[in-house]
Structure 1
Amino acid sequence: MFAAGTEAMPESYRFDTVKGDWFRQDREVVMDKRIAIVTGSALGLGYELTRQLIERGWFVCGVDFNAAKQQELAEAFGSDRYRALTGDISDEAFVRAAVAEAASIGHIDLLINNAGQPSFKVPTAYTAADVDKCLKGLKGMILFSVETLKADGERDLKIANVMSTAATRGNANESVYCATKWGERGYTESLKAAYKGTSVKIVGVCPGGIDTEFYRDSHDYVSEEKQHTFMSPADCANVILFNLVNDANLTVSDILIERNYV
């Protein structure tokens, strides 16, 4: 690793605009791959979407705030397949730098807005902090969409907004979470209207319960036993990518995936 400010750099090194340092990157290897940005790439569904895209030959710029996990993924996948962008999706400066770094590698073909945090409480238990926590997902979705659309010149891009079945109904102990998911759905539908008839395609993804660490702080609401009856993140990611990434002359505009209720 070279320090920033080194005058003569080999062509195989690039400057990381997010971390302010140099990293090794074989552009010739990356340039023959399609490029995706996946937010929330470190764990759960986001990790599986990332892993399976890489298996399909994609180069993934993974976004997550978990620095330790990002380091693990960068080492496991290698610099010719994965670029770790570590930061807060609701931080506009970070988002701009992250998208700029992805765009410096090549045209961004796919953006998967997957990152988000839950809050499950009875209606009277919610606080402003809970609202802010849930709204980060909506804010990040908007910021990453805006910056990626601009980076791509509003052409040849597919945006998949991963929401929840909570974006299709109201759940008793998820009022704030549902409100933000309905907001994400409204944003998704507005993007569809704005880019209808163009080479920008917008896809809404609404999965039900998934067996991940998403519920780690909510086992008073969803027991660990119940959680393990939910769909696996690998299966869910496979279904999403089957509909999302293909060479057919069509677009699946909405993907609703219900878990098997037991």
Structure 2
Amino acid sequence: MADAANGRHIAIVTGSALGLGYELTRRLIAKGWFVAGIDFNAERQAALADEFPADQYRGFVGDVSDEAFARESVAEIAGLGHIDLLINNAGQPSFKKPTAYEAADVDKCLKGLKGMILWSVETLKADGERDLKIANVMSTAATRGNANESVYCATKWGEKGYTQSLKAAYKGSSVKIVGVYPGGIDTAFYRDSHDYVSEEKQHTFMDPGQLADVILFNLVNDANLTVSDILIERNYV
């Protein structure tokens, strides 16, 4: 396993099994990257192991907010070589009117923030805090308040605060931090919230493949520059 990456760029993508995470994963692989994909969906991880050769993709099954899982997985990935890119994409939503939220909903939304912190910390340590790009995929919910997303927005604003703090901490270094703020995406992300986001409305949202193309166009290139914030809205027709 130590030579699985074969000297190629190594990326970690959390939430790699479905939606935007999957589209980012397969596009990175098409660009010649080795991707370590992180997801709790064991069935989908098994399918990705069949879809991609072992020298292109390695799946890790677990909860991104589990500290031991993050530490052990990053250590194993770092054994393949220097980690060039971490995309913190994993997260779970909860869309309800303010008085409908319960503690379980808060915990669910907080998993994304906790995972973002844990995977960033472990990857930074594994890389010796150098030559690393961290892209934190959040939402336009991190830029405004939404009536039926109060807890979801709260966690996204927390992720934005963490992202901005990382930028300040590593300003002028070889660690580059990118905040990614996409609007609504046409994926199963909204499947439990059709009282709030109807299927008809959902299908007017952004295509995850097109969104992945835009993100990677800005994130992975040969230019001697870094796009530090990527705000992407869908076209309204």
Which TM-score applies when normalising by structure 2? 0.99
Counterpart residue number, 2:194:
219
Counterpart residue number, 1:172:
147
Amino acid at match of 2:126: A
| Contact 2:7 2:81 (C-alpha < 8 Å) held by counterparts | no
Deviation at 1:75, TM superposition (A): 1.3
* Distance across 2 between alignment mates of 1:169 and 1:49: 25
Structure 1: give runs of 5+ residues left out of the alignment: 1-13, 15-24
For 1:192, what is the secondary structure of its paired residue?
helix
Runs of 4+, deviation exceeding 4 Å: none
Deviation at 1:165, TM superposition (A): 0.2
Superposed, 1:48-127 pairs within 5 Å as 48-127=23-102
* Distance across 2 between alignment mates of 1:190 and 1:261: 33
| Contact 2:186 2:204 (C-alpha < 8 Å) held by counterparts | yes
- Is 1:255 matched with 2:226? no
Deviation at 1:259, TM superposition (A): 1.3
* Distance across 2 between alignment mates of 1:80 and 1:158: 22
| Contact 2:139 2:183 (C-alpha < 8 Å) held by counterparts | yes
Counterpart residue number, 1:44:
19
Residue 139 of structure 1 is aligned with which of 85, 92, 114? 114
Deviation at 1:101, TM superposition (A): 1.1
Deviation at 1:31, TM superposition (A): 2.5
* Distance across 2 between alignment mates of 1:227 and 1:102: 36
Deviation at 1:33, TM superposition (A): 1.0
Which TM-score applies when normalising by structure 1? 0.89
- Is 1:202 matched with 2:197? no
* Distance across 2 between alignment mates of 1:261 and 1:96: 42
Counterpart residue number, 1:231:
206
* Distance across 1 between alignment mates of 2:179 and 2:143: 11
* Distance across 2 between alignment mates of 1:134 and 1:251: 29
- Is 1:240 matched with 2:215? yes
Counterpart residue number, 2:105:
130
Q: Percent identity?
A: 81
Deviation at 1:261, TM superposition (A): 2.8
* Distance across 2 between alignment mates of 1:146 and 1:200: 12
Structure 2: give runs of 5+ residues left out of the alignment: none
For 1:105, what is the secondary structure of its paired residue?
coil
